[in-house]
Structure 1
């Protein structure tokens, strides 16, 4: 199902960042690393437009439509489905107060675990930065540059280098967005990418004569 395919961590980081921006001051996480339940409940009341102590799909979709997802571009319906999949534990098709608090508590715990900030109140901000997909943005920028070079028929003598960069960046990007923890083997992979990039460049340049 689509709700199971959608990557939740990058979406989660943007929603948490947006949620904190809705507060007049402070963080959803206290200095001791525990959730600030008072602010979480304040957030729930803000989102509960009809004051029935429940958040409907329509109310949630209105919230999602105000979130700046930047380069993620998810469908609001998919995000709503994913959040309900995580929060609506009784299957009532409504997110009640306790479900909202519990769901947000789990998300904040994930943010703290991934961000590993000494100042726990800044965990959401760092969590968001981790999932900003800088590597993928670089690939997009490079793709745009190549498109301009092609469209303008400009001279370009670095095809082998560009292909090598794209392949390595793609590997790092996929690894970065698919994991939140990095075991020792990922370090070995990172070291391996250097000789791999040299070998790939030599193959493209000397064997395929792509220059």
Structure 2
């Protein structure tokens, strides 16, 4: 059971950093032979080459990759168990790794409360996809201009009390019939983002002019993502002086945030509570889930590590894979940056949450488990890709080939460690 659980964790992390990452580079490639960030339409005149075509990312994406590398520390600690022969010594190593994992999870969540740039980038990613997939087609004319009559209709649909302005309560009521969760958006996050971007006067009301201006801005940014003014560096690392306009915008944002501070803290506690409940539920369901997978593997006569390492990760991540590829096909620096940041954040949370639940089960139930081959595979692949992505913002298309090759190499390494060397 322990080996199967770790294979599922390893399969998900490795697939995201090899197949999905490489697909984003392959489908999002454009000419990167110079420092220009122009679109692919302008660069198609130049001949294709493995070094001249690829993708670029911003600095904040490198910082996200460095955070992902930190998730390898508990995996590295677990390798010490291979040097220990006693079962009590192995339990000590497992306990230390579990404590380090839990500390990293806490620090990661705590850091985002006071430096929420990671959350903001994720919100920008899912919001841009939502606007592109749901609003562009319905609110633009055939000529690609904002459809003023349709935008006006939407405004009056939201303005239920007909006072020529939209409140946050009316916006929430309007969103009840829209399945934002399927796009990865929470209603509260969407409402706060709309009020922040649309409410130019700062009076917690959106009039028709502000609504039209805000919607038009969203539509323009969705179709011209590289023309956006986008902060590439997280505030923690930013050293540049702020202009008066930036200071004014920050003051307005601070005012709006103060109005929702109470709700924000409630959301933090709610998220922590749901995280604890989810962890407990997964811990209870882990054993029957693994037993079901083993039974299925025996019934269809497929090796269990193929089920857990390949089939289940594909089934669980196919939707995210299609979304990442669709985003990368915009062939812009911002689209690639946000997509890669989403992948790195997903790998970090997959590693930390998966490893925490796994080690918790092993330690509490005193399961018989030797340090598995999957631990080493995750450590190698995530470290190599983490170093590559944290040291550069330019990825030629040959890096996608290497990423693709890493997936079958990881399968081969896993086979050698388990079948040839006899690792568990």
Does the TM-score normalized on the shorter chain lie above 0.5?
Answer: yes
Alignment correspondent of 2:126 = 10
Instruction: Report matched runs for 1:146-165 at 5 Å.
Output: 150-151=291-292, 153-154=294-295, 155=298, 156-160=302-306, 162-163=308-309
Instruction: Report matched runs for 1:29-178 at 5 Å.
Output: 29-69=140-180, 71-72=182-183, 74-113=185-224, 150-151=291-292, 153-154=294-295, 155=298, 156-160=302-306, 162-163=308-309, 166=313, 173=321, 176=325
User: Structure 1 residue 157: deviation in Å?
Assistant: 0.5
User: Structure 1 residue 8: deviation in Å?
Assistant: 3.5
Query: Could you give the per-residue CA deviations for residues 50-81 of structure 1, whole angstroms, max 9, x where no partner exists?
Result: 11111101000011221123534543222211
Alignment correspondent of 1:131 = none
> Rg: which structure is higher?
2
Alignment correspondent of 1:195 = 405
Compare relative contact order (CA 8 Å, sep 6+) and give the higher one, 1 or 2: 2
CA distance in 1, matches of 2:396, 2:146: 31
CA contact (8 A) 1:55 1:95 kept: yes
Closer, same or farther: CA 184–73 of 1 in aligned 2, 3 Å: closer
Alignment correspondent of 2:335 = 180
CA contact (8 A) 2:131 2:218 kept: no
User: Structure 1 residue 97: deviation in Å?
Assistant: 1.3
Q: How many correspondences in the alignment?
A: 172
CA distance in 2, matches of 1:78, 1:196: 37
User: Structure 1 residue 192: deviation in Å?
Assistant: 2.1
Alignment correspondent of 2:415 = 205
Q: Aligned Cα RMSD in Å?
A: 3.8
In structure 1, list runs of 5 or more residues that go unmatched: 21-25, 115-146
- TM-score w.r.t. the length of structure 2 is 0.34
In structure 2, list runs of 5 or more residues that go unmatched: 1-112, 226-287, 329-333, 338-392
CA contact (8 A) 1:164 1:200 kept: no
- TM-score w.r.t. the length of structure 1 is 0.62
Query: Could you give the per-residue CA deviations for residues 126-172 of structure 1, whole angstroms, max 9, x where no partner exists?
Result: xxxxxxxxxxxxxxxxxxxxx866326412514157425739x69x8
User: Structure 1 residue 195: deviation in Å?
Assistant: 1.1
